């Protein structure tokens, strides 16, 4: 009998786990950990953040039931919802528990710089490599690492405590594509895509450099570094086709991303609903927006770039700035602290290609008739000026 009971319990447990709907490589959410946010937010504030920032265009409706004094969130099939009680008013709201400090000034501010992607030996695999003729290849992962190192010096000079989440092309994750084959098959099956050696190779590589790597970085940030702010550093691109004969474009633009704009489809995943709740409840958004506003302004001034406008509904314009968009990326959703995510310059723009060839240099050089700093120093100045404006010296 004990054996039967154990077997039955195991079977139930397996079904229980199987009933969860999770994105690739996600750990099942621990909903009760959100209990620390009980009575920390009013209904108005919660509703505003949910319906305007995190799950706009009614994406929230199927999974969140908002009552006067609480909200019930769907946790998964056959399980009770997670109930969060609202504070009756902001005066009686309990303090928000979080590892980051929203009141620090730049002196003493703990900043983690996240140079996007891996670069180096992984650049071609992660499709962040292109070469125009005999030029030096343009490698986003290497370029953002260079920016991060310059930026670290400049911010430390102003008293900030800065760490680099990556300081080489060495991945933060121990997983490699070879170890992700079965996860790749599972992911392909869930997406209804065909399963063959080529698709398995492609998907296992993607799960490595995108999913596993970003999950490992988020773990490092949330469990070890616990910074007040993450700056995610990128260069943007328009689709360039063949990396050895890339399409060049006249387009060049700038935008910044904050976490938000989950779609109804994304919210059908248990882990994404949990992560939305954590981000919303720890009130990252206010900080992400105020820092993004200041940095967008200074970046626009430094780079002279026009704003990028999303045509798809994956992003929503927020904060009254044409440069700032809310978008749900793994690389801003998983970091519990505020993340300012920068997307300046189009790497396959003709002028940007030329500036990348010039590399870094002191002073200014003539770029299409205008004296300009190196693209790296211009990027760094844009970020630093914005942080100084937002946090004070
Ligand atoms: Zn990027």
Q: How confident is the model at residue 392 (pLDDT cuts 50, 70, 90)?
A: confident
Please, is 370 exposed, middle or buried when counting C-beta atoms within 10 Å of its C-beta (0-12, 13-18, 19+)?
A: exposed
DSSP annotation of 50: I
Q: What is the pLDDT of residues 217-252, one digit of tens each?
A: 999 999 999 999 999 999 999 999 999 999 999 999
CA dist 26 and 68 (Å) reads 32
Interval between CA 291 and ligand 1 midpoint (Å): 20
Interval between CA 140 and ligand 1 midpoint (Å): 7
* Residue whose tokens read 């689709």: 239
Interval between CA 186 and ligand 1 midpoint (Å): 26
Interval between CA 117 and ligand 1 midpoint (Å): 6
CA dist 60 and 334 (Å) reads 19
Q: Residues lining ligand 1 (ion), CB within 5 A?
A: 116, 234
Interval between CA 348 and ligand 1 midpoint (Å): 13
Interval between CA 234 and ligand 1 midpoint (Å): 4
Q: How confident is the model at residue 178 (pLDDT cuts 50, 70, 90)?
A: very high
The DSSP code sequence of 153-208 is HHHHHTT-EEEES-SSS--S-S--GGGGHHHHHHHHHHTT---SHHHHHHHHHHII
pLDDT of residue 359: 96
DSSP annotation of 245: S
pLDDT of residue 18: 56
Interval between CA 128 and ligand 1 midpoint (Å): 8
Interval between CA 71 and ligand 1 midpoint (Å): 36
Q: What is the pLDDT of residues 253-308, one digit of tens each?
A: 999 999 999 999 999 999 999 999 999 999 999 999 999 999 999 999 999 999 99
Interval between CA 209 and ligand 1 midpoint (Å): 12
pTM, two decimals, is 0.93
Q: Are strands 339-344 and 254-259 parallel, antiparallel or unpaired?
A: antiparallel
């Amino acid at each position: 009998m004990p054996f039967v009971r154990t077997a039955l319990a195991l079977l139930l447990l397996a079904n229980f786990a199987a009933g969860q709907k999770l994105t690739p490589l996600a750990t099942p959410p621990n909903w009760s950990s959100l209990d620390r946010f009980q009575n920390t937010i009013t209904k108005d504030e919660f509703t505003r953040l949910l319906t305007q920032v995190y799950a706009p265009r009614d994406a929230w409706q199927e999974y969140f039931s908002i009552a006067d004094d609480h909200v019930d969130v769907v946790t998964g099939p056959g399980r009770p919802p997670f109930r969060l009680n609202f504070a009756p008013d902001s005066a009686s709201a309990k303090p928000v528990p979080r590892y980051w400090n929203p009141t620090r000034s730049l002196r003493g501010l703990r900043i983690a710089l996240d140079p996007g992607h891996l670069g180096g030996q992984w650049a071609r695999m992660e499709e962040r490599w292109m070469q125009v003729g005999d030029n030096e290849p343009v490698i986003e992962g290497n370029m953002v690492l260079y920016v991060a190192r310059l930026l670290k010096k400049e911010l430390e000079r102003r008293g900030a405590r800065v760490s680099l989440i990556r300081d080489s092309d060495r991945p933060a994750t121990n997983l490699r594509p070879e170890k992700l084959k079965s996860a790749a098959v599972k992911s392909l099956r869930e997406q209804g895509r065909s399963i063959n050696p080529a698709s398995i190779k492609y998907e296992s590589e993607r799960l490595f450099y995108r999913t596993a790597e970003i999950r490992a970085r988020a773990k490092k940030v949330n469990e070890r570094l616990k910074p007040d702010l993450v700056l995610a550093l990128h260069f943007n691109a328009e689709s360039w086709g063949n990396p050895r004969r890339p399409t060049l474009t006249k387009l060049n633009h700038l935008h910044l991303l904050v976490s938000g704009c989950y779609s109804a489809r994304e919210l059908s995943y248990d882990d994404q609903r949990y992560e939305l709740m954590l981000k919303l409840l720890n009130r990252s958004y206010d900080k992400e927006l105020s820092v993004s506003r200041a940095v967008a302004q200074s970046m626009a001034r430094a780079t002279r770039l026009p704003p990028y406008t999303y045509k798809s509904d994956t992003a929503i314009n927020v904060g009254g700035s044409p440069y700032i968009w809310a978008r749900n990326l793994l690389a801003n959703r998983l970091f519990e602290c505020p993340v300012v995510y920068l997307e300046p310059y189009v790497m396959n723009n003709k002028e940007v290609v030329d500036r990348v060839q010039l590399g870094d240099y002191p002073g200014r050089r003539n770029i299409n008739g205008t004296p300009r700093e190196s693209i790296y120093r211009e990027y760094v100045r844009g970020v630093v000026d914005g942080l100084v404006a937002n946090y004070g010296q």
